[in-house]
Each structure stands twice: as structure tokens, then as C-alpha cells.
Structure 1
């Protein structure tokens, strides 16, 4: 007996075409959260107001630097730099102080007779000159710079760059044999910037004291102490409290010399006629009559 196959009834194509499709339930669109829009607008408003406020504060606070930076005199300078801005601002804030500079052989051959002012704003009146480094180092330009400074009537001082890992008394001898100070010069200057590699800070301070004692005995004058602000505060201040201080701090937002600083090296990017390239600039925390009290008798 043959099995009968079930036939699937034929679908009318017209019926299929005309069969209505099932309607999709429309997806609900997310409504924009009005509170999110509000907070976004508020955020951008605050940011814009903040930037405008900073711009106004900057313009008022540093108006003298901006004035110089965009002046015709600065545009005509051969060596233009953003650092001119800060230099001009600091000098303007210290109109009643004395301005000086410091040099070594890194400045090359200096035309001392051309040096008169910085940024054509303020006369340069004193200079610190590197003489020696460590136990046997001698600055190649010291003699030339020392004579040039004296011949052009700058108040002048000589400094020794201290190397922590070399014998302190031999370093003192190196300075004494190289530098002849006379009446009207600054006392000897000790420059300490390096951390010791093979000794403790206590040993370093002992070495510095030995250098100071030997040099003070020879010149009959207490040395000036030079260092960076952080180095001096952390490692020297409590042990050498009675020295004339020459402190380096190039922080853009340090705008005034601190009362306890006698000298402030406020930039290493100064531009001075007669010197090729950048040079350190310094402020003395006083006037001409006061600075003369510091000089060798």
C-alpha cells in the first residue's frame, strides 16, 4: 500500500503580498535631559569667566613686563626672548634697588665698555666674577674680566665654585692664590650648589666651614654665601646663619626680593649689550650707600 503524501496548500501570491505586516512598536526616543544641558552650559560659562579673569589679573599684575615686551625697543633687539618679559617686570618692581650681573668664561670675550644697562631700563652697577673651581680649576676669563670690570667702574666681587668631593682647604688655597682683593671690592664669595656623592651632608658642612675659616682669616672678611633657595633652606641655613646671602631663584611667580636676601639672582636669561648670549642678573636689596657698607675696607 502506497503512503499518501500530505500536500501543502498553495499560497496565493496576491494574498501573501496583500497580507498586512505586523506593525513594529515604535521605540521611545530618549528625551534630552534638560538638567544635563544646564550643567554643561554652566561648566563652560565658569571656564570662560575663569580664563578671562586670569587674563585680566595677568595683564594688571605684569603690565610693565607686557609693556616692554611689545615695545618698539624690544622688537628691535637682536636676541628676542620671552624671558625679557619677566626681566622687565622684576626690574620695574625694584626701581629703587641696584641691579648687577655675574659672569664666567661661558660668556666668552666681554666688551666691558659697552655694558651700561639691562633692557635699556636700569643701569648695571655691580658684577660677580667666577675665579676658581674646586681644588685646581681656574676660570679662563677671570683675569680679563676682573680688569675689565675694574676699568669700567663696576663694583666687583670674585667667587669660588665649591666642589663637595674635593679637599676644602686645597680649594681655599686655590682661591687665595688666584684672587687679590682690594679696598672697594666685595668680600670673597663661596658658591655651593652640588650635593656630595661620597660623603654625608654633615661632612660637606664641615668642609664648607673649613673653607670659610681659611678664606676669612686671609682676607679678614666673612665670605658671602651663594646658593639656590631650596639648597640653602634645607642644607645651610641652620649652620651658616650670619653670612651675607646671595640667593638664586628663577621662579616666574617670585616677583619680589625677600627681606633676608642681600642679593637675588632672579634670572639666567638676561640680555646685556656687550655680552654675547645670556647672562645671570641680580638685584641688591638696598641702595648705593648701603651696599658700600659690605665692601672691603
Structure 2
């Protein structure tokens, strides 16, 4: 006689527990995402309202809807409405109607402009002469040089000096350094930068400003060039604080400016309009 095989059922409690744990984790994750989005929306509420039309008469068409960066632009500019707003331009902005260059995001007054003058040892920005002359009537102007790390520093300084005639009321010259050298150590780059700065300082009798991005500044320039003032670029969406050691903060490269087609870099000077006047050449 065959014995009946007795099979025992495995308990289903583990399956049920894992099912409910999975369900709960999904709810928690969903709740976290909702709170995160709600927090971001609340933080940028003024910018969102502005661009949805509650603070403006402009009608937004879907094909011309503002980017999320525009909301941040409005938020940052609103936070620092006691500071001074400026732009920087080059030939890449094309022909600029300087008489119309008045506002950023149709709301915030522009008071200064930095204009690219030269690049490396021999290039002159093809729009520099026009931009330099035309901006003088409406804004405090300044000129900058884009530094090529693999070219002779004194030749680059001479290129800038030859093409830029600074006058009373202009901003100090600016050295724009963003690229790493290809065939030289970082110490050689620093030596070249110092030669450029000293040559330009001696010519104009004013200490230049250094422009760079925040990472380059922290890694290579902050300690060795501590006696210079810095203009720092940081476009990070979640960065909204103007640091004390930044003379100027370039917080976006995607702003809308009256009189200019396409995107424009926008900057906040870390001071009042009166302090900006003190910065200019006497």
C-alpha cells in the first residue's frame, strides 16, 4: 500500500511582506519626488509667476516658451536687486542695437557691459570697435582679453594694449582665462598670466580683473593671485549665492536682453552703483 506523500505549503507571509514593502517604498519615493518638485516650484514661484504672465503683459506662445533657466535668472536678479547688473558680449552676439540695450528679462536695468577686444597674440574681435564706440553713450564699459595659454603672454598683452584705449569712466581691463595649457605645466601658465597682468597694469596704471570659472579659480588661481579681484562664472542651477570674494558673478549664459538677438551672458557686480563708479578709471 502506497503511503500518501504529505507536502507542506510554504508560508506566503514573506511574499506578502515583500509586496507591501515594495508598495510602501514606491509611495515613499513618489512622495519624496512630489515634495522635491513642490519645493523647487515654491522656491522659484516669483519667476514662474512672472513667466506665466501674472507679472507681465507678454503672451507666451508654446514655440517661444521660456526655458527653465529663465526662471532661475529672474529669481537670482530679484534676490540681488540692490546690486548692479551688467552683460558681456563678443562678435558672437552679432550686430547689437546699443540704444535698445536697457533691460535683462524685460525687467532688470543694465548698467555696465564688458566687451571682448582681443584673443591671443594677434586676433581682434571683429565687432569690438563698433561695440566699444556704441556702448559708451549708454553704459559703463569695459574691455576683456581672451587668453590663449599656448601663446606668448607679452605678445598677447601687446595685442590688447594696441587695440584698447581706455578712458576716464571705463572699467579696468580684464584677463579671461578658461583653458588649460597643452604643452606646459600649470606653473608656466601662472607665470605667463602674471606677465600679462603686470604689462597691462604698467600701461594703464590700474590693476586688471581676472575672469575665470569657479573650478579654475579654486584649483589654480585663488592662492597665487590673491591680490587681484575676480570675476567668476558659475551657471549651476542650484547656486544662488554671490560669494564675498567674487567681485562680479556671471550667473548665466542664457539670458534675454533687449537690443540683442539670442542668448547673452549676465553678471551681477558685488556692490552698489556708487561702488561701481569708484571701480572705474579716474
What is the TM-score of this pair, normalised by structure 1? 0.87
Where has structure 1 moved over 3 Å in runs of 4 or more? 23-30, 76-80
**Residue aligning to 1:120:** 106
| Counterpart position of 1:40 | 22
Q: Deviation string for 1:127-173 (max 9, x for gaps)?
A: 0000000000100000100111102x201100000111111111111
CA distance in 2, matches of 1:281, 1:74: 24
- Give the counterpart of 2:249 among 244, 251, 264: 264
Greater Cα offset, 68-77 or 85-94? 68-77
State the Cα distance separating 1:69 from its structure 2 match.
2.8
Q: Does 1:60 align with 2:42?
A: yes
- Tell me the secondary structure at the aligned position of residue 156 of structure 2: helix
2:187 to 192, 199, 202: 202
Equivalent of 1:241, from 210, 226, 231?
226
Distance 1:195 1:215, change over 3 A: same
- Specify whether residues 253 and 74 from structure 1 end up closer, same or farther in structure 2 by C-alpha distance, changes over 3 A only: farther
- Aligned mate of 2:161, from 176, 184, 193: 176
User: Following the alignment from structure 1 to structure 2, what is the Cα–Cα distance between the partners of residues 127 and 101?
Assistant: 5
Match of 1:83 in 2: 69
| Shift, 1:37, TM fit | 3.0
Give the structure 2 partner of residue 31 of structure 1.
Answer: 12
Between 61-70 and 172-181, the greater mean CA deviation after superposition = 61-70
> 1:49 matched to which residue of 2?
31
Counterparts in 2 of 1:144 and 1:68: CA distance versus 1, 3 Å: same
The match for 1:6 is: none
Task: Tell me the CA shift for residue 243 of structure 1.
Answer: 1.3
CA-based RMSD? 2.0
Give deviations 1:27-82, integer Å, cap 9, x for gaps.
Answer: 84763533223312321221122122212211222212222232253626957333
1:101 aligns with 87
Contact 1:68–1:74 (CA under 8 A) maintained in structure 2: no
Superposed counterparts of 1:148-297, under 5 Å:
148-151=134-137, 153-297=138-282
Larger-Rg structure: 1
- Structure 2: 5+ residue stretches without partners: none
For 1:31 and 1:173, locate their aligned partners in 2 and report how far apart those are by CA, in whole Å: 82
Partner Cα separation in structure 1 for residue 98 and residue 83 of structure 2? 22
CA contact (8 A) 2:88 2:266 kept: yes
| Inter-CA distance 79–156: structure 2 relative to 1 (3 Å threshold) | farther
Deviation, 1:274, is 1.0
Indicate if the aligned counterparts of 2:51 and 2:66 stay in contact, CA closer than 8 A: no
The runs of 5 or more residues in structure 1 that have no matched partner are 1-22
Counterpart-to-counterpart distance in 2, 1:232 and 1:260:
11
Secondary structure of 1:75's match?
coil
Contact preservation (8 Å) 2:143, 2:171 = yes
Contact 1:74 1:80 in 2 (8 A): no
